[in-house]
Each structure stands twice: as structure tokens, then as C-alpha cells.
Structure 1
Amino acid sequence: MLDAIVWFFQNIALAFYNFAYAITHPASWLNWSDKEAIMRFVYYGGSVEFFFVVFTAILIMTGIGLWKNSFMWGCVRVMEGFANVVGRLFAWAGLIMVLQQIVIVFIQRIFVRPDISFGLGIELAFDISWWAEMLKLHNAMVVALCCTYTFVQGGHVRVDLFYAGVKFRTKKIIDMTGSIIFMLPTAVLVWMYGWYFMWRHLITPKPSASDTLDRLMLKAKAVRWNVETIGFSPNGFNAYFLFKILMVAFAGMVFIHAIAFFYRSYLEWKEGEESEGKYLDKDSLGEGEEAYEGTH
């Protein structure tokens, strides 16, 4: 038990050194013309060192926020703003998906063409099945990158067993508990599994979560890019590595928003009901929104 406590605080102390070293030696992990830099990036992206750098940064932010609530509100606005900006941008993927499906139907059923070609100077030509399978990517963008945006907007379904019947401050305690016990650990687990899963489809030799930095440095001698380009069908969509990247992005965004949700819940708990929805940037349907929502 004592060893675990010493290990924990030792890693928090080392987080300051690791962070300072990373920002003062960017070429050691960002210069991807160097094979060892690629392997360092792969290792540290899912490492204990990276976790404690992020964890220590959150502790510092939280400490400052507890001392000065205006700082914590600022963090909430930035993190929720990030979720809104990304979500509002990639929500357009839903419209693109619909338009692309319409084009596919017209090309396939009316013009009886086996492919779709377009381009401005450089022709982009793929089989109809490639474009049809690409619809999954648009759907994945909406799911992965609009998840936290939907959370900010209050669009997720709440499984309510007793939440609605409790007092305001009790609700905030439940929200804080949920963000710490469920959202944060889940985001970390998805990141850890997704990070190495992604890189196993981008480079070879394939890295493993159990690989030490020394072992990855040995693998670096033979490392080369091997981006996954195999489709489910011979002429189907062949950029499935993008789904792995989206999975990692999803985990990162959920982690960030779990912090924002905890901060907001704490501040609303502390300041009372008058602070509910403070600085919340929610979308509006404009005039008549209340009447529209009343039909659902």
C-alpha cells in the first residue's frame, strides 16, 4: 500500500519534468521523419507518463478553480465551446451523407453507371460501392465528434430512476459522481484500447500496449508506414483507418467534457439554482421553439 502511494505521488512530481521535457524537445516525438520519434509518440500517447501529465494538469486547474470560481467558469466555457464548435461543424456530415446517398441512387438507378467520377484538375473516380460504404464514415463522424456537442445541448436520453424527484443540489452531486465514476474512467479505457488499436493499423511492426519504450525503440529500426487500405469488398471503401482515428478523437472529447461537466455541476451546486445553465451556449430553433418542442 505504501509503495502504491509513493508511486502515485512520485509520478505526479515527475509529470512536471516530463511535460517540460516534451515541450522543450518537440523533435524527439514530433519529427516523424525520424523513426524513433514515431515510436516515442506511439509509446507516450498511451503511457503512464502521459496520464499523469494530464492528471496533474487537471489537479492544478481544479485547485485554481476552487480558489477562484471565475477561472473554473472560464474552463467550462472553453471546453463546452470546443465541443460546440466541433459538433456544429461535423453535424454537417449528416447532410452530406443524405446528399451522397441521393447521388448514388441517381447514378446507379437512373444513369446506370458503375462508378462516380469528379474532380477539379485531378480526377477522383471510385466504384459505386466505394461511395456507398463511405456513408459509414459520415455516420461515424456524427456519432464520434458530435457526442459531446449533443451532451452540451442536452440531447442525450437520461435513464431517470430517481433523478427528477430529488433536490437541485442532490442532482448536482449525482452529476459530479457520474462524471468522475463513469465518464472519466470510460474515456480513459477507450483511449488506451483505441490508441494502440489505431496505431496497429497505421505502422508496422505493430505496437502493443505491453511494449516498453526500449522495446519500441528496437522496433523503430524496422518501422514503416502501413496504413490500412483493405475494404470489406473488392471495390469498397478502403480508408477504414479513419474509423480508428475517430475512436481516439471520441475518447479524447468525452474525457475533456467529463471535466467540463464536473466543473459545471460543482459550480451550480455551490452557487445554487440561479446559476443553472450559466454561460451555456445552447442552439435555438428561433421564434416558436417552445411550441415545436412541445410536440415532442
Structure 2
Amino acid sequence: MDDSSSVGLTDALAAIGGGIVWVLQNLAQAFYNIGYAVTHPGLWLDWSDKEAVMRFVYYGGSVEFFFAVFAILLVITIIGIIRNPFMWGCVRVLEGFTNTLGRFFAWAGLLMVLQQIIIVIMQRIFTRPDIVIAFGIPVQFDISWYAEMLKFYNALVVSFCVGYTFVQGGHVRVDLLYAPARFGTKKVVDMLGSVFFMMPLAVLVWMYGWYFMWRHLIVPKPSASDTLDRLLMKARAMRWNVETIGFSPNGFTAYFLFKIMLVAFAGLVFLQAVAFLYRSYLEYVEGPESDGKYLDKDSLGEGEEAYEGAH
């Protein structure tokens, strides 16, 4: 019994050691892969070459890409820990990008409302089966096409405003234990949440969404289990086959955009997780006086002041 226990412990330690070695090897290889990709962009960005497309497909959802991102993030984090102003700069750039993107695509909500009103008017008042927009070359689609397009506007808001909503503190959170905690405890919880919840979720969505997207853009359809050599063999027969089939005969015909937005959603969540991790760390190090430092939150202050002045 003792011998079997010692053998099991030895095997477990060997497995852990092998895993650590595997991570370190891939991390070291990542720096070489980054340099090679930057110095040979034609191998994966020249989409006139079918093999370049397949390389892009493979590496976008590969272990190599994961460790390349991890290596870049690790270097930036180490520099930021040594020089806090650099990390604050990263936070401001990432949050500024997220805010700008979210504020722009938030207008899709207004477009969704206006289009719904037009659909109701055209159906109930003018009893038209279609809507024609004529500016030189007429654009004519069935009412059901515009009705299904409302999902597209909703997807724009969800995909591109998720990080913006997070920065603005607009997501629903249950903080029965979080709210009464001390400032330092809150920041530790935030850091752990970024590393163990937000980042893994974003990576999983990206890994599944990446091949899901490409399977609706090209044929032969790539698979997550395909090796690079197999994808390069498929490149001989590769052709673009962008999905244009709607749920109804006359429905919205650009459903491939939803797959692209799924990948964009994962990328934006990951970037916001990095920004939140850095902000939480810096606020933890600098103390409560840095809470909300450089945070660009929307405010209705001017409207509130005008209201108070009128009363």
C-alpha cells in the first residue's frame, strides 16, 4: 500500500514537472514565434495566397498564439510592476479604447429603435411587404430582412459595448460579501476575478469562436483538431464561401457577421480583463487615494446641475 502511494505521488510530481517544463518551453518559443511572424508577414497576411489564409486560420486559434499573447502580457506586466506610470498608461489606453468603441456602437441601440418604428409604419399603415431605399441604385429588401436585422444591432451593442459597460460600472453584480470588505481586500478579489474568471472565459470563447467563425467563411471547413500540415493540404481546394443564408427565405443574409462579432467580443473582454487587472493592482499598491484614478466615466452632472438650478 505504501509502495503504491509513493508510486502515485511520484507520477503526480512527474506530471506536474512535465507540465511546468511544457509551459516554459512554449513560453520561450513564443518570443521566437513573435519575431518570426513580425519579420515574415507575407506568410500569414498575404491572403492572395491560400496557404497564408490557412496559416492565419491555424495560428489564430493555436497554442502558439496563446503563448505569444501570454509572453507579451508577461513582459508588459513586469515592466509595469517596475514602473507604475507605464502600467497606468496601459490602463488609460485600454480603457480609452474600450470607452470610445462602446460610445460609438451604443448608437446601434437608437438605430434599432428607429428601424423598428419604420417597420411598424410600413407594415401597419402602408401595408408594404418591402422597403426600398433609392439613391441612384435602389436597395430593396423584404420587411422580414429588416426585422431580422434588428438582431444585428443588438449583437453590435452586446459585442462592442460589453467592456465599456464594465468600465462604467453598469454590469449587475452581487456584492453582499464584496461591498463591506476593506479596500485592499476588494482589490485582491478584483485581481483574482480578472485572472481566474474574465481571462479564462475570454480565452475559451475565442478558441471555440475562432474556428466557428472560419467554418462559415471558407471551405473546406477547418477544424480545431486540424494540424498546420493538414490545413496547408486543404489550402489546395480552399475557396471563400461566406455564409449568406438567413433563418427565413427573405430574412437577414449576413449572419457571418455574428460569428465575427463573437470573436471580437472575446478579444474585447480579454483586453478589459487586462485593464481591470492592472487598475486593481495599481490601486492596491497606491492605496484608497488612487481609487478611480484616470477613470473616464460618463456623467450627467451638467444636466443634474441645470435641473437643480431650475428648482
What TM-score do you get using the length of structure 2 for normalisation?
A: 0.92
Q: 2:36 aligns with which of 21, 25, 40?
A: 21
Mapped partners of 1:252, 1:289: distance in 2: 36
Partner residue in 1 for 2:247: 232
Alignment partner of 1:152 is 2:167: yes
Q: 1:290 to 1:195 in 2, by over 3 A?
A: farther
User: 2:235 corresponds to which letter in structure 1?
Assistant: A
Letter matched to residue 237 of structure 1:
F
Quick one: distance in 1 between partners of 2:148 and 2:24?
A: 49
Q: 1:54 aligns with which of 69, 80, 88?
A: 69
Q: 1:281 & 1:191 partners in 2: Cα distance?
A: 28
Q: 1:170 pairs with 185, 193, 217, which one?
A: 185
Decide which of 83, 96, 103 is 1:81's aligned counterpart.
Answer: 96
Deviation readout 1:1-39 (Å, 9 max, x if unpaired): 332222211111111111111111111111111110110
Spell out the pairing of 1:7-18 with structure 2 (5 A cutoff).
Answer: 7-18=22-33
- The residue that corresponds to 1:71 in the other structure is 86
C-alpha distance in structure 1 between counterparts of 2:131 and 2:102, whole Å: 29
* Structure 2 residue 209 is the aligned partner of structure 1 residue 194: yes
Matched, 1:3 2:18: yes
Structure 1 match to 2:292: 277
Q: 1:92 aligns with which of 103, 107, 110?
A: 107
1:51-101 alpha-carbon deviations (Å, 9 max, x no partner): 111000000000000000000000000010111011001000000001111
Considering only CA atoms, is the larger Rg found in Structure 1 or Structure 2?
2
Q: CA deviation at 1:288?
A: 4.7
Does the C-alpha gap of structure 1 residues 60 and 168 become closer, same or farther in structure 2, counting only changes over 3 Å? same
Aligned pairs, number: 292
Match of 1:120 in 2: 135
Shift, 1:253, TM fit = 0.2
Partner of 2:228: 213
For residue 128 of structure 1, what is the amino acid of its counterpart? Answer: I
Gaps of 5+ in 2: 1-15
SS in 1 for 2:301: coil
Letter in 2 for 1:52: F
- Determine the C-alpha separation between the residues in 1 that align with 2:306 and 2:249: 50
**4+ runs deviating over 3 angstroms:** 288-292
What per-residue deviation string (whole Å, max 9, x for no partner) do you get for residues 247-276 of structure 1? 000000000010100000010111111100
In structure 1, the partner of 2:158 is 143
In the TM superposition, residue 122 of structure 1 has moved relative to its aligned partner by 2.5
The answer as to 2:145 corresponding to 1:133 is no
Q: Call closer, same or farther: CA 1:61–1:290 in 2, change over 3 Å.
A: farther
Work out the CA distance in 1 between the residues paired with 2:305 and 2:273. Answer: 29
Aligned to 2:6: none
Residue matched to 2:268: 253
One-letter code of the match for 1:280?
L
Q: How far, CA to CA, are the matches of 2:253 and 2:302 in structure 1?
A: 45
Identity %: 73
Aligned partners of 1:276 and 1:121: how far apart in 2? Answer: 55
Taking the aligned partners of 1:50 and 1:281, their CA distance within structure 2 comes to 32
TM (normalized to structure 1)?
A: 0.96
Letter in 2 for 1:213: L
